[in-house]
Structure 1
Amino acid sequence: MKYDVVVIGGGPGGYVCAIHCTRYGLKTALVEKAELGGTCLNRGCIPTKTLLYAAGLLENIDKAALFGIRNAGGTPDFAGLRKRCSDVVSTLRKGVGRLLKQNKVDIYQGKGRVVSPTAVSVEGENPVELTTSHIVLAVGGAPSIPPIPGSSLPGVYTSDSLLSELPESKKLVIIGGGVIGVEFAEAYRAFGTDVSIVEMMPRLLPPFDTDLARHLAALFRKKGIHVFTGAGVKKIEKTEEGLSISFEKGGKEEFLPADAVLIATGRHPETKDLLPMEVDMERGCFKVDSHMETSVKGVYAIGDIVYGTVQLAHSAEAQGKAAAAAIAGKPCSIELDLVPQCVYTLPEIASIGLTEEAAKQRDIPIKTGRVVMGSNAKSLIADEGGYIKILSDESGYIRGAQLICADAYNLISEISLAIVNHLTLKEFLKVIRPHPSVEEALGGAAESALLR
């Protein structure tokens, strides 16, 4: 079968790329070895955020007495949680399938392998070879498991396997304090689990702003989540009671008992044996140009397998759109370097553009404006804290923001819009924001930066 484009991988980047290719009039095939929607939909963003939504409901129930509501106790039902996760994932997966068919994308079930820059083999029940003018690689990644003795014991999970089983746990130890680790910690804590995080780096969320990480660690400790940073895990052992995790912190060996362990130490790209020809790579990822094309002409890469990219679904989607535009010879107006990063803790975290640390490293003079959410009426009403920080350069142009507050994942888009359109603080403040709202704190932070 002859195609203009063959996309390997049906995750957010792959299926979005395929749909945009057909909208440009390109005959397109999509090859997927498992379920449509990839990791994000089936074993990542969607089921995780479903759990966190449930955690938010439980947290609000805990606040009920503050608002004069009595006897509002809630008890987590793991069977119900599993069903809700499954229902949401199933509904969205079917929607992706319908969308692909509506856009006339041919779907091939099986493992895709590049035979040459103009051919892809599909391995599976119905093997076939597809010829094409362009190939887009969107195969994503898989959980990374460090060489920790005992990591294969029963009761030790990756994010994939934990979400597939969703086990009940009284004591959960999470190895890794990045985005995946802190989100699972928040969810399981709300479900009544005793949660501990063991992180090798000096703080949680290493890539994020230091203030955000410190604030989250303080919130976690207040909620009863045990946080051990600067701690290297040595081994996991089976005991009569369950599992024991030993780690070294400050030169001293410590132990944590658990009935479940989650290894959340990041993900690695699934690029092994994907291409039969020489291609420029770094740390197992493909190097690409501004059009997402690899060093092999006609072969593109998007998403988690791209070197230097942020491993997020919306980043992969943007790259997929950029690759489709490049293949069709159309301009792409998406700012691929401006990717908002969100963490769905309670409250949420969001970041875009420059941080104070990055500005200092690059010798960029900045002005910082900050609003504490305790002074925001809507946040006070809901008994929610946090802060919003906005950064501008000396000319007043908005260069970045970091938020830890309710609805941070929604509010960050307003900052993204301002940065993409090169708005100054004064221009940003022309917007009249509703009162009371969490959003009006954005204006307060901008005013604070302007007065610096």
Structure 2
Amino acid sequence: MKYDVIIIGGGPGGYVCAAHCARYGLKTAVIEKRELGGTCLNRGCIPTKTLLFTAGLLENLKKSALFGLKNAGGEADFEGLRKRCEAVVSSLRSAVAKMMKQNRIDVYQGTGRVLSPSLVSVEKEGESKTLETDHIVLAVGGAPSVPPIPGSRLPGVYTSDSLLSELPEVKRLVIIGGGVIGVEFAEAYRAFGAEVTIVEMMPRLLPPFDTDLARHLAAVFRKKGIRVITGAAVKAISEKEGALAVSYGLGEKEESVPADAVLIATGRHAETKGLLSMDADMERGCFKVNDRFETSIPGIYAIGDIVYGGIQLAHAAEAEGKAAAAAIAGKPCSIDQQLVPQCVYTIPEIAAVGISEDQAKKEGIPLKTSRIVMGSNARSLIADETGYMKIFADKDNHLLGAQLFCKDADNLISEVSLAIANHLTTEDFLKVIRPHPSVEESLGEAAEGTLLK
């Protein structure tokens, strides 16, 4: 069988790339070794956010008296949680399969391997099939990284994949790693009634984010009863009398925290081993690509988590998939990585886009910064959610970035992205009349504050 494009990997980057290739009139195939939808849909974003939605409901039920309700308390039903996650994932996976069929994209179940720039093999259960193509897109994604911690393979020690697969009911959860994955699971399991401790090696939570966001999140977590230990290097995980213990070094001292389960959330690595039968320009297991997402091998493209220096987010992979499809079809393609929003689905949510304060300080870029506390926002007050918004502009009032720690931050951040992408000034941004009461109206207030600097 001969194709114009073969995509190895059916996750967000892969299936979006496939859909766009097909719409450009290219005969397209996708090879996926597991389920369509990849990690995001099956073992990552979607089930995690399903849990966090329920966690938010539970948090509000616990405050039912504040909202004028009687006897509205609730507790987590883990069997019900598992069924809910499965239902959401199954529905979305069916939608992806339907989209493939509607676009006449052939789907091969098995492990894809590149034999040459024009040949790809599909291997499944000892059998192999070879497909011919003009272009290849690599979108195989990544897997949880597990550092060499003694005891990391003990029963009760999980990665994000295995925790979502089993969804155990535990009273004490220790999370190794205070990045996005770690803090989201901390939020969910604390709402479900567990005692949660985060042990992070770096000096603060969310190392890629601005210091102010990380500091604010740590304060919110401590108020919720989530223990946060930073600057701590985990030494070992041990088992004694049916319980686990995580020992860690903190300064000159070595301490330990007990647990019923341990989640190792120390990042992810690209799954590129054995993918190619030839050499490509790579760094740390990831492909170096040009602005068209083409690797050092002409005709072979790479997108998503396997791109060196890229952002490991589903929507980043989707954007890269669209760009690669356009490049293959001979259309204009470009992505501004500065416009990829980064979101954390804590309660309230965190979202950031554009330049950050830490980056500006490091690069010596002067910023006009405005900060609005959400305590005076009517919608946030009604929902009993706190937080803040920050807007950054340059000396000529062009918007450069924003950080939101508030209700619906993930839904609001694209308004700022649109402004930055179109080089709007604060004055342009303020031409929009935002509804009242809404969380969104604080965006206007924050932007207006930059004019006073």
- Are 1:3 and 2:7 matched, yes or no? no
TM-superposed deviation, 1:276? 1.6
Distance 1:157 1:203 in 2: 23
Alignment of 1:28-427 (within 5 A): 28-125=28-125, 127-332=128-333, 334-427=335-428
Does the aligned pair in 2 maintain the 1:19–1:100 contact within 8 Å? yes
Stretch moving more, 177-186 or 127-136: 127-136
Distance 1:272 1:190 in 2: 38
Deviations 1:42-62 (A, max 9, x none): 000000000000000001111
Distance 1:414 1:250 in 2: 43
Distance 1:89 1:67 in 2: 32
Q: Which amino acid aligns with 2:400?
A: R
Distance 1:414 1:436 in 2: 17
Q: Which amino acid aligns with 1:187?
A: A
Match of 2:441 in 1: 440
Distance 1:154 1:80 in 2: 24
TM-superposed deviation, 1:382? 1.3
Deviations 1:354-396 (A, max 9, x none): 1111011111111001100001111111111000000011111
Deviations 1:186-221 (A, max 9, x none): 000000000000000000000001110000000000
TM-superposed deviation, 1:255? 0.6
- Are 1:27 and 2:27 matched, yes or no? yes
Does the aligned pair in 1 maintain the 2:292–2:334 contact within 8 Å? no
Identity of aligned residues (%): 73
Distance 2:247 2:178 in 1: 16
The two structures, once aligned, show a CA RMSD in angstroms of 0.8
Deviations 1:52-74 (A, max 9, x none): 00000001111210122111110
Deviations 1:381-440 (A, max 9, x none): 111100000001111110010010000000001000000111001100110000110000
Gaps of 5+ in 1: none
TM-superposed deviation, 1:332? 2.5
Distance 2:44 2:348 in 1: 19
Q: Secondary structure at the match of 2:215?
A: helix
Q: Which amino acid aligns with 1:414?
A: E
Distance 1:225 1:450 in 2: 38
Does the aligned pair in 2 maintain the 1:143–1:159 contact within 8 Å? yes
Gaps of 5+ in 2: none
Distance 1:72 1:16 in 2: 42
Distance 2:338 2:285 in 1: 21
Distance 1:424 1:282 in 2: 38
Distance 1:333 1:205 in 2: 28
Deviating 4+ runs (over 3 angstroms): 333-337
Distance 1:288 1:350 in 2: 27
TM-superposed deviation, 1:241? 4.1
Q: Which amino acid aligns with 1:340?
A: P
TM-superposed deviation, 1:337? 3.8
Q: Secondary structure at the match of 2:39?
A: helix
Q: Secondary structure at the match of 2:131?
A: strand
Does the aligned pair in 1 maintain the 2:338–2:353 contact within 8 Å? no
Q: Secondary structure at the match of 2:258?
A: strand
Q: Which amino acid aligns with 1:403?
A: L
TM-score (norm 1): 0.99
Q: Which amino acid aligns with 1:359?
A: A
Distance 1:324 1:343 in 2: 28
Distance 1:223 1:108 in 2: 47
Distance 2:334 2:355 in 1: 21
Does the aligned pair in 2 maintain the 1:370–1:444 contact within 8 Å? no
TM-score (norm 2): 0.99
Stretch moving more, 77-86 or 356-365: 356-365
Distance 1:419 1:14 in 2: 27
Q: Which amino acid aligns with 1:368?
A: T
TM-superposed deviation, 1:335? 3.3
Q: Secondary structure at the match of 1:410?
A: helix
Q: Secondary structure at the match of 1:195?
A: strand
Does the aligned pair in 2 maintain the 1:112–1:122 contact within 8 Å? yes
Q: Which amino acid aligns with 2:435?
A: P
Q: Which amino acid aligns with 1:351?
A: A
Q: Which amino acid aligns with 2:263?
A: L
Does the aligned pair in 1 maintain the 2:245–2:259 contact within 8 Å? yes
Q: Secondary structure at the match of 1:65?
A: coil
Distance 2:333 2:137 in 1: 17
